[in-house]
Amino acid sequence: MAYQALYRVFRPQDFSSVVGQDVITKTLKNAVANKRTSHAYLFCGPRGTGKTSCAKILAKAINCLNPKDGEPCNECEICRDANENRLNDIIEIDAASNNGVEEIRDIRDKAKYAPTQAEYKVYIIDEVHMLSQGAFNALLKTLEEPPAKVVFILATTEPQKLPATIISRTQRFDFRRISKSEIISRLEFVLQDQDVKYDSQAIETIAVAAEGGMRDALSIADQAISFGDNELTLVNALQVTGSLRNDQLLDYFKDIANHDTASALKKLNDILISGRSAQRLTESIITLCRDLILVKSGNSDEVSQATMLNELNDMQNAFTQDRLFKIVDTVSDTQKNLKNSNQIDIYLEIMTVKSCEEISEQVETTPVESPQLQSQISSLEKQIEQLQEQVKHAPVATQAAPVAKPKTKTKKAKVVNKTAVFTILNGATKDDLNEVRDIWPDMMQMLPITQQAMMNVSKPVAASDNGIVVSFDYALWFEKVTQDQELLDTLKDNLGKLTKKNLDIVPVAESQWPDIRKEYLQEHQDEMTSDEETQDQPVAEKEETKAVSLAENLFGSDNITIKED
C-alpha cells in the first residue's frame, strides 16, 4: 500500500479524537444523540483546526446504524463506506474549483432526490467563500427551503466573505487555533504510535511553527522525520521550519540591547546564511519582545519559552517597555514589506539598524542641548531676575506677591469615557461578567501575538448585554489601547463571534477604576434597596447597606472589599 501522510493517517474518525475543539464536538455529539441536528451548518476558523474532519464525522454520525452517545461506531456498513469515501450519500465539493452557478444548480436539483443508501444526504462544501455571487444566490433558496433528509455543511477560513443571508440560515461554529500544549500532546501520541524517536524541544519547535494548526504540525513533523531518517531531532526541526536556535536569537538580541549595530548586522547575516526563514526571524523577535514585556510586568509564568526564562530575567533591565513597543512596531512594519518584496535582506538590515539606534538617538539629544528648551530657560531666568528686583524695591510693610510658577506643558492624560462606563453599569450583572470572563482566554487566542502582548495585562471588570468594561494594570497600556482603534475593532468583532452579541468595549486604567465605581455607586445607591428593608437602621448604615447591595449585584460579592473609614 502506498505511503500516506501522517495528517491523513491520523485524521480523527470520531468527535473524541478531535484536538482542541471540545465545545464544538460536545455540541455536535449532543445534537446527534438527541436527534436535533440542523439542516445547515457553517464551520469557520483557521486552516488545519478540524473543520473538514468534523464535517465528515458529523456526516457519519447522523447516518450511523449504531451510534453511541452521538459518536459514529466506525464499524457498521455506513461508517466503513464513509471512511473509505465510497458512500454516495456523502458528497464533498471543493468550492474553489466548483464555484459557478451551474455547479450549485446541479447540487440543488440533485438534492431533491432521496438518499440511496444512508438516511441523510450530506453535502460538504469546502472553502465556500470562493463561490461566486450567482452561486450564493442559487444556494440561498435551497438553504431557505431545504428538501427533507438533506444536510449542508459549509466550511471556510474566511467567513467575512460570506453573505449575511447565507450565515443567518446556518448554525455557525467558530473553530479556534489549537494551543501549543495540545499540539505537543497530540504529536507525542502520533510519534509514539509510529515508533519514532523524538526530541521534546523538536516537538515544541514544530508546535510553535504550526501556528495553531494541527494539520500543519503533522505535515512539518512528517517532513522532519523524512529529513532525519525516521528520527525527529531539534536540528532537523529547525532546518525544516526555518526557525532560529535560542542561542542565535539571544545573541542577536543582546547586540540590539547594547546598541551594537555592526555586531547585530553580522549576526543577522549569519542567521540568513544558515538558511533561517525571514518570516520566522521576525516572528521570533516579536515573541521575544512579548516575553520580555511579560517578565518586566511580573508575569513570568506566561512566557512562551520557559527554557529561556533565566536569559530573559538577565536581559529585562537592558530595555524599557517603551523601547520594546517600538521594536515590535518596527518589526511589524518589516513583516508587511517582506510580503511584497524580493529584497528581504535589505529590509531586515534596516529593521536591525532601527532597533539598535532608536533609543540611542533620543539619548544623544539631552534637554540642555535642545535650542527650544535653552530659549525657554533663558526667558524664565530673566523673569526671575525681574521679580527679585521688584521684591527688593518694594515697601517693607507691603507683603511681596508670591512668585508665579512658570507654566510647563504636561502631557494630557487620556480621560476615561465615564458616560460609556455608566451606560454599561446600568445594565451590568454578575452573570454577564462571569460569561465574559469565561470566554476571555478564547478571545485572547484569536488575537495576533503583538495584540496579545498588549491585552495580557487586562481583565473584564464589569459587563452587561450592551458592553464590557476592561481594566488595564498600567495606565500606559490603557492609553495605547484607547488610541488603537484597529485593536478595539478587532476585540469587538471577536467578542461578537464568541458571545453572539454586539458588545461595546470601554477601557479603563486599574488605578482609575475604584474611583469610577465609587462615583457610580454613590449616584445609584437608592435604586437597589427599598426603604422598608432598612427602615430600622440608622441613616448612615442604611446608605452603606444600599451601596453594598448594588455593588454585589454589579460585580459579585467575591470582587467587593468593604473597608472601614
Count of positions (residues) in the chain? 565
3-class SS of residue 42: strand
The model's pLDDT over 467-487, given as tens digits with 9 standing for 90+, comes to 999 998 877 778 888 888 888
More reliable by pLDDT, 193 or 451: 193
Does pLDDT of 420 surpass 50? yes
Does pLDDT of 114 surpass 50? yes
Q: Around 221, how many Cα atoms within 13 Å sit in the side-chain half-sphere?
A: 33
Does pLDDT of 409 surpass 50? no
- Sequence-ordered list of residues with C-beta below 8 angstroms from that of 386, at least 6 positions apart, any chain: none
**pLDDT, position 124:** 92
388-402: average pLDDT: 59
Average pLDDT score, the chain: 81
Strand 121-126 and strand 150-156: pairing?
A: parallel
pTM attached to this predicted model:
0.57
- Per cent of the chain over pLDDT 70 is 84
**pLDDT, position 55:** 93
What does the block give as the cell for 99? 464555484
Strand 197-198 and strand 171-174: pairing?
A: unpaired
Does pLDDT of 216 surpass 50? yes
What does the block give as the cell for 217? 504540525
The model's pLDDT over 510-564, given as tens digits with 9 standing for 90+, comes to 888 888 888 888 877 665 554 444 445 554 555 555 556 556 665 555 556 666 5
**pLDDT, position 543:** 53
Least trusted range by pLDDT, from 100-109, 274-283, 371-380, 424-433: 371-380
What does the block give as the cell for 118? 444512508
Specify which residues 40 forms β-bridges with. 152
What does the block give as the cell for 150? 438533506
The one-letter code for the residue type at 117 is Q
Does pLDDT of 267 surpass 90? no
**pLDDT, position 557:** 57
**pLDDT, position 174:** 92
**pLDDT, position 378:** 76
What is the rounded CA–CA span in Å between residue 223 and residue 230?
A: 10
